[in-house]
Structure 1
Amino acid sequence: MYAHGRSHDFKMANAEIKIKYLSRCLNVCKRLHEFIPSSARSCHDDVICPASFIDVRRFNVALPSTALSRESYVQGQLKMNITSISTAENGHTHEKHTTKPSTQLTGEFQLRHADKHKRSKTVLLLFDFYKASEKAIASYCSLYHGYGFDVLYVKSHFKHFVWPKNSQTLASKLLQHIQTDDFTYENILVHAASMGAYNFGVIMAEMYEKPELHEKVRKKIKAVVYDSLTIGSLDNMAKGVSQGTQNVVLQKILPILMHAYFYITWSQTVALYEHYIAVFKQRPLEVPTLMFTCRNDPMSDYHAVEDLVELWQSHYKFPLTHRCWEKSRHAAHLRIHREEYVRDLDTFLSSVPDLDVNIKLKAKM
């Protein structure tokens, strides 16, 4: 009798844990819903929510008679921070870090100044990866400040990915700023990592679609550094999101949630992704380009990266350097392979004739 009671308690506790994780995933759907403008939603809010596609029976959740009701876990207070299920794009903790003076230009980008005695006529546009910590951003800023570059830091938000029109708005704001009188830099160097490369791809498409407005900006861009391109299929994107958690249940549920979301919002998400990917592949900026990737990146299909490199090398004449490690970590190559990373960057930047660059860093730094 006692053993049976313990077994029942264990099953009930196990079921409640699974229910908790399911409810968190449903809350993620609600968070996704918040990023969609009200004008683009269905007249019935529940139609747009991928939760309607989820069959909880698939996950073998047995509900004891005393377990939480469906209403209590779907509508209850079991909230989930979106960061815990987002792509684990780096291994940095969120720590306070002292940086050099910066100028906040908007809520989504800011200018971080290099030493005024070393300052170059070139500015770096830094498109970060999603949920990059201040410590990680400060590390990249310090690296490029060493070359004398001010850094215009463009922050990536989850809303930019899940609703591409938000990224279009970001692109318009940034392009407008670059063309103001306050933007006095002669040259632009781009560093785009992971989701940041997606945002930069949207900017590229905007420049090509409106050349009469943005041709001057395009001509200012002298070189590009791509770090951890998120490239491949929708499966790669969905699986990439699931890698943000160590929980086995969530790893099974999240790809289904993402596929459901893509299915429901296809014309406003997937169709635009495909457009931007096509522009990125078929109309690259024909300037010196450096790529950092690795073979074991779950968010980047290595074969797709190889195909992209082959395409660019066979159809275009711009200099392309590709550094690929057998093992590394998504958007953390600088931290894991710092010596090689800095050495390759030194060599690359010194080869770009139009950059006003001070090569003073050593690989050991």
Structure 2
Amino acid sequence: MEDDDLDYDITFPSPSPVQEEENDEDDDITLDDFVIEGDRKEPVIILIGWAGCEDRYLAKYSQIYEKRGCITIRYIPPKDIAYFQPHLVRPLARKVLDLISDYNLEENPILFHIFSNNGCLLYSEITDILHSSEGQSYSKYQVKGTVIDSAPGKRRVLQAAKAYMITSGRSGITGYFVFFSVVVALLFGRLYSFVLSLIGKKNAGKQHHVYEAIKDDKSRWPQLFLYSKADQIIFHYDIEEIIEYRQKVLNVPMSSVCWNNSDHVSHLRLNRESYITQCRYFLEQCMKRDTAAENA
């Protein structure tokens, strides 16, 4: 579906529960264990893809939730915007948020599942909107938690250029040309942002502060971080620093899983059973937390 220039996909649950595939060796949680009862609204899972992601890949993640009777919305931010036109991210964030009211889902519990720094950039704008004066337009929204896969990472030009080269699909001499071109563009962008900050331009250089935005995010709903020591794009110790800070300093309910074998945004493929189990358990706990709060 398209909403102006927003290319997204939304899936509503089937009238009857979807049967698990025979080869879906995922977890011990059955549909009977899930927390959609009576008049409770189905959870809405908003999945925000990584740079270079394709919808057919993101759909594998949405199926984790669709098999639990959830509504899913999939969206992949254009990577060129994240790298070179970050001022366009906030309008995209508003459009993603507006999808909830467009489909009359304001009373449904909402969870985010985001990937890499590309997803974190859009997500950080979404949470900034929700916790600013603009958030009054979305005051009925019921966000219950966030899953963060392979992110966030600190500002490193070479790592960012490497990620862009990989997602461009270029290799050999062409790949190196893309790599060095992105390095030059990012360094120039930093210099330009620094000059703007000196003359008092608001939000100058904001594109370089994804890590800080996630670290100091004003939301206090639970978070689940999924990452790996084998990730060559986003380093595990960056993520662990955020987990410790948000848990100990900001008192945010945190959980995490760190694997040793999976590369960037490859954790589902190489650790399928534990990945699916963690996502569904986190969803279940967020729903139980919501029920407990209502009954308190």
- Which moves more between the two structures, 156-165 or 318-327? 156-165
RMSD of aligned alpha carbons: 2.7
CA contact (8 A) 1:125 1:153 kept: yes
Tell me, in whole angstroms, the C-alpha distance in 2 between the residues paired with 1:275 and 1:155: 20
Q: Say if 1:236 and 1:299, in contact at 8 Å, map to a contact too.
A: yes
Deviations 1:85-142 (A, max 9, x none): xxxxxxxxxxxxxxxxxx6545322311221345852111111122323432221222
Q: Which runs of 5+ in 2 are unaligned?
A: 18-35, 197-202, 292-296
**C-alpha separation in 2, matches of 1:213 and 1:179:** 13
Q: What one-letter code is carried by the residue in structure 1 that aligns with 2:153?
A: I
CA drift at 1:293: 0.5
> 1:261-293: CA deviations, max 9, x gaps?
123333299811234432321125211111110
What is aligned with 1:321? 255
Distance across 2 between alignment mates of 1:231 and 1:208 = 23
SS in 2 for 1:141: helix
1:8-65 C-alpha deviation (Å, 9 max, x unpaired): xxxxxxxxxxxxxxxxxxxxxxxxxxxxxxxxxxxxxxxxxxxxxxxxxxxxxxxxxx
- 1:144 maps to 65
Per-residue CA distance 1:243-265 (angstroms, 9 max, x = gap): 45573545544443222212333
The answer to whether residue 81 in structure 2 is matched with residue 160 in structure 1 is yes
Residue identity opposite 1:111 in structure 2: I
Which of 181, 205, 209 is the matching residue for 1:257? 181
CA contact (8 A) 2:49 2:115 kept: yes
List, as ranges, runs of 4+ consecutive aligned residues in structure 1 with deviation greater than 6 Å: none
Counterparts of 2:210 and 2:69, CA distance in 1: 32
Equivalent residue for 2:129, pick from 206, 210, 227:
206
Residues 1-365 of structure 1: matches in 2 within 5 Å?
104-106=2-4, 107-118=6-17, 120-161=41-82, 162-180=84-102, 182-194=104-116, 195-214=118-137, 216=139, 220-232=142-154, 233-244=156-167, 247-250=171-174, 252-266=176-190, 267=193, 271-352=205-286, 353-354=288-289
Distance change in 2, residues 1:225/1:201 (3 Å): same
- Over 3 Å counting, the alpha-carbon distance change for 1:105 and 1:151 in structure 2 is farther
Identity of aligned residues (%): 18
| Equivalent position amino acid for 1:231 in 2 | G
Letter of the aligned partner of 2:123 in structure 1?
F
For the Cα contact (< 8 Å) 1:121–1:185, is it kept in 2?
Answer: no
Cα distance, 1:330 vs. partner? Answer: 1.4
**8 A Cα contact 2:228 2:262, kept in partner:** yes
**What SS does the aligned partner of 2:129 have?**
helix
Check the 8 A contact 1:130/1:156 in 2, yes or no.
Answer: yes
What TM-score results when the alignment is normalised by the length of structure 1? 0.62
Question: Unaligned regions of 5+ residues in structure 1, if any?
Answer: 1-102, 357-365
C-alpha deviation, 1:332, in angstroms: 2.0
Question: Alignment length, in residue pairs?
Answer: 253
Q: Work out the CA distance in 2 between the residues paired with 1:154 and 1:246.
A: 24
